[in-house]
Structure 1
Amino acid sequence: MRKPILIICGVLVLAVAALLLFGRDGTPGDTSPEAGFARDMATHHAQAVDMAFTIRDKGPEDQVRNLAFDIINTQSNQRGMFLGWLQQWDLSQATDQRPMAWMTGHGHGAAAAAAGSSGTASGAMPGMATPQELTKLKEARGKPAEVLFLQLMIRHHEGGVQMAEGLLKLSTRSEVVSMAQKIVDGQTGEIKLMTELLQQRGAQPLPSILKTS
């Protein structure tokens, strides 16, 4: 008699787990990689937009100003899509899960910790600037401000690429996969551009947080 009860309990546990992961109608559930990616990347993009507004308001040289405009427009639009997905999936924007929990167990669980050694606050998403770095950027002027912005944004983009590549290994949902690939391609290109802009200013990027083979 005990065995059927155990079987029923096991089925119920699996059903609850499936509901959290896939939702009621096949859409991503609350603990799915897609939901975690959307929430974390929305927060990640918000900081990038904030840094881009900061440097734009300092009247930088044309190339840096144009880059800031591109980041503001692109990442604001993408952030709107992330939040729209969560609403469409009937999921909240906030969660009790720690940042990057959706990548744990897939070879990326230590991403935030690795980023922490490169200036990112411990437990945060990879590439995020610390409050102290943001304050320093707000206070900087002229060429030093441009250099710091480029350094912080390169590292920030590296974190975004890391997160997007993680999603590509975990999801087959077309709209999410397509967005993740756009982030990888777009931010990889901007990393190259920003590295060149730093070299023109006699500076180098911060130590990379990306794994090298």
Structure 2
Amino acid sequence: MTDDVTTAAPGHPAGRQRTALLILAATGLLLAGFAIGLIARIPLQDKGDDAAPSAVDVGFCQDMSVHHTQAVQMAAFELSGGSDPDVKRLAYDIVTTQQNQVGRMQGWLQLWSKPLLGNGQYMSWMSEPMSEHDHGASHTMSGPVATMPGMASDQEMEKLRTSTGAAEDTLFLQLMLRHHQGGVPMIDYGMNHAVTDAVRTLAGSMSAGQTSEMQLISGMLTARGATPLPMS
């Protein structure tokens, strides 16, 4: 594990990679991944999904694990400091669902003998233009990026961590809506370009679940008189 992450300044790609790995460890997702990784072999074997994973399969699992991990961390902050039962229920659903999904993706990466994290740059596996099947998106990757779309900044995460009550409920909804929206291109690309049935199926499940959650969050924000955040 330590071979994949080196000590570096926080702004350096290796530093960002180290930070992501530390977040995984802090939230217990590494342990969940090791445990669920054993279970993750079963669906791959039962389906006869013996296709060699492509760069899309591997990159999707690596980058979406990092993306999901921040969502889990945001939801944990809401569970500890929020006040609205409906928002806290949403946060609980996000924690349980996305922890499970991260565990599955980490399990597959272990099965494929691939590192849990990439090289400090993200989305380089999205090398083809998005098609009309990708929610009508016209997104085209021009190369790897340092930060995935929709990710909260360190300052936003600290503000969410230190907020309480109704203010935290609203900020959580705003950050989570943008976070889900930012993940749509990756999820759609995974559904349409991954070669393993397991990854395509998981991406489809993410798409359905997060589309429903985005609709729910939008309604909650409207009810609070709050507006969505611009895409980061």
Q: Is the TM value for this pair above 0.5?
A: yes
- Of all paired residues, the percent bearing the same amino acid is 40
- SS of 2:194's equivalent in the other structure is coil
Partner letter of residue 203 of structure 1?
Answer: A
Partner letter of residue 88 of structure 2?
Answer: R
Based on CA coordinates, which of the two structures has the bigger radius of gyration?
Answer: 1
- Deviation, 1:172, is 3.5
- SS of 2:66's equivalent in the other structure is helix
Query: Using the alignment, how far apart are the partners of 1:96 and 1:78 within structure 2?
Result: 21
Alignment counterpart, residue 27 of structure 1, candidates 35, 52, 56: 52
- Deviation, 1:76, is 0.2
Partner letter of residue 169 of structure 1?
Answer: N
- Identify the residue that residue 61 of structure 2 maps to in structure 1: 38
- Identify the residue that residue 186 of structure 1 maps to in structure 2: 209
TM-score by length of 1: 0.76
Query: Using the alignment, how far apart are the partners of 2:95 and 2:67 within structure 1?
Result: 13
- SS of 2:81's equivalent in the other structure is coil
Alignment counterpart, residue 174 of structure 1, candidates 185, 197, 207: 197
Equivalenced residue count is: 174
Q: Any residues of structure 2 matched to 1:14-93 within 5 Å, and which?
A: 26-29=51-54, 32-93=55-116
- Judging changes above 3 Å, is the alpha-carbon distance between structure 1 residues 102 and 112 closer, same or farther for their aligned structure 2 residues? closer
Name structure 2 gaps, 5 residues minimum.
1-49, 131-139
Alignment counterpart, residue 137 of structure 1, candidates 160, 180, 183: 160
- SS of 1:101's equivalent in the other structure is coil
Structure 1 position 196 matched with structure 2 position 228: no
Greater mean alpha carbon deviation, residues 147-156 or residues 170-179 = 170-179
Structure 1 position 103 matched with structure 2 position 126: yes
- Deviation, 1:167, is 1.4
TM-score by length of 2: 0.70
CA RMSD in angstroms comes to 2.0
- Deviation, 1:59, is 3.9
